[in-house]
């Protein structure tokens, strides 16, 4: 829930009058930037979905793969229609942190075993998740029920946990093609229920147990993300 645009405008105009127009300090949120925020929030009447042609995406994937031998993945955000080729920028034990390839933009996602466990810099970020049970269930490729926990910040910067109970259903074999990968996978559909709603994820798992593609719900603000491994 966000304050309505009119209210933002009113509060904004009042606060704008109480702050600096320009300054040499880091505190400086200027009148202009508040104005811009307000204009942006008024413009954002329903997210405008970007349509990116597949040929452009495929060309970017080829360029990325030829640039280095490292791991790459394709991330698609359903809510905004954004697509990005990601590269690994850091590894911490079983976790990998990814950022957009070919830009220095500081937004990132972290994964464990191919599943997104946190995001940074996207707004309403997923702060951390517990996916142990989920990964175990996927590696066995059997049906069953497991618990998953997503953690976000609430309006007071407190960690808010969303507990989901998820039912796993193996749903047939198919061939996965993405970047340099072409292999046989099992699709596992996952139906999850939280206190306030439900969501539907799926995972494509190779015979060796590697999750090569995952469509996961990351919270109310972020919606569904699909991460497809390219190498």
Partner 1 sequence: MIRTPTRVLVALGMFGLPAVASADDLITRTTNNYGTPGGLIDMPTAEVAPDGELTTNVTYFDGFFRTTLSFQITDRLSGSFRYAGTEDITPQFSTYYDRSFDLRFRLFDETDFTPAVSVGLQDFVGTGLLSGEYIVATKSIGDRLRVTGGLGFGRFGSYASDGSFGTRTPFSFNQGGTGGQFNIDDWFQGDYAFFGGVSYQATDKLLLSAEYSSDNYDTAQSAGILKRSIPWNFAATYQVSQNTSLRAFALHGEEFGASLTFNLNPKNPSVKGGTELAPLPVAVRGPRSAEDLGWTTQPGREQAITASLEQSLQQSDLDLEGMTLNGRSAHVRIRNEKYDATSQALGRTLRSMSRELPPSVEMLHVTLIENGIPASTMSFSRTDLERLEHRPAREALAAARFTDTLRFGDYPDPFESVYPRFEWSIGPYLRTSLFDPSNPLRADIGIRAKAKYHLGSGWIVSGSLGQKVIGNLDSAVRPNNSQLPQVRSDVDRYNRTDEPFIENLTVAKYGRLWPDFYSRVTAGYLERMYAGISGEVLWKPVDSRLALGAEINYTHPRDFDQQFGLRSRVTPGGTIPEFNGHVSAYYDFGNGFHGQIDAGRYLAGDWGGTITLDREFANGWKIGAFATFTDVPASQFGEGSFDKGIRFTVPLSWLVGTPTKQKASGVLRPLTRDGGQRLEVDGRLYDTIRESHRPEVAKSWGKYWR
| Triad 183, 69, 225: Cα angle to 5° | 60
Q: Is 79 in the site for partner 1 (CB under 8 A)?
A: no
- In whole angstroms, how close is the CB of 204 to partner 1 at the nearest point? 13
Q: Is 95 in the site for partner 1 (CB under 8 A)?
A: yes
- In whole angstroms, how close is the CB of 66 to partner 1 at the nearest point? 26
Q: Is 76 in the site for partner 1 (CB under 8 A)?
A: no
Say how many CA atoms lie within 13 Å of 156 toward its Cβ: 2
Query: Where in 4-43 is the site for partner 1 (CB under 8 A)?
Result: 4-8, 10-12, 14-31, 33-34, 37, 41
- In whole angstroms, how close is the CB of 117 to partner 1 at the nearest point? 6
Buried b (16+ CB within 10 A) or exposed e, 33-64: ebeeebeebeeeeeeeeeeeeeeeeeebbeeb
- In whole angstroms, how close is the CB of 121 to partner 1 at the nearest point? 4
Identify which range of 47-55, 71-79, 92-100, 178-186 contacts partner 1 by CB under 8 A. Answer: 92-100
Helix (H) / strand (E) element for 170: namely strand 159-178
Query: Where in 148-177 is the site for partner 1 (CB under 8 A)?
Result: 151-159, 165, 167, 169, 171
Tokens matching residue 130: 């517990």
Question: Are the CB atoms for 82 and 113 separated by under 8 Å?
Answer: no
Q: How long is the chain?
A: 231
Q: Is 46 in the site for partner 1 (CB under 8 A)?
A: no
């Amino acid at each position: 829930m966000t304050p309505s645009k009119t209210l933002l405008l009113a509060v904004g105009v009042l606060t704008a009058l109480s702050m600096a127009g320009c300054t040499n300090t880091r505190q400086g949120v200027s009148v202009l930037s508040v104005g811009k925020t307000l204009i942006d929030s008024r413009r954002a009447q329903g997210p405008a979905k970007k349509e990116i042609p597949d040929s452009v995406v495929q060309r970017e994937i080829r360029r990325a793969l030829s640039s280095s031998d490292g791991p790459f993945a394709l991330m698609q955000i359903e809510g905004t229609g954004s697509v990005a080729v990601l590269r690994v920028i850091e590894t911490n034990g079983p976790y990998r942190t990814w950022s957009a390839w070919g830009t220095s933009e500081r937004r990132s996602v972290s994964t464990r075993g191919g599943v997104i466990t946190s995001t940074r810099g996207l707004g309403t970020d997923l702060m951390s998740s517990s996916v142990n049970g989920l990964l175990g269930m996927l590696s066995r490729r059997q049906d069953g029920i497991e618990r998953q926990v997503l953690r976000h910040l609430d309006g007071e910067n407190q960690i808010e946990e969303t507990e989901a109970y998820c039912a796993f259903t193996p749903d047939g074999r198919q061939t996965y093609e993405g970047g340099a990968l072409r292999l046989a996978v099992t699709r596992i559909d996952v139906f999850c229920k939280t206190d306030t709603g439900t969501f539907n994820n799926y995972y494509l798992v190779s015979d060796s147990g590697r999750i090569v593609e995952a469509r996961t719900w990351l919270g109310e603000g972020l919606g569904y993300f699909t991460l497809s491994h390219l190498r």
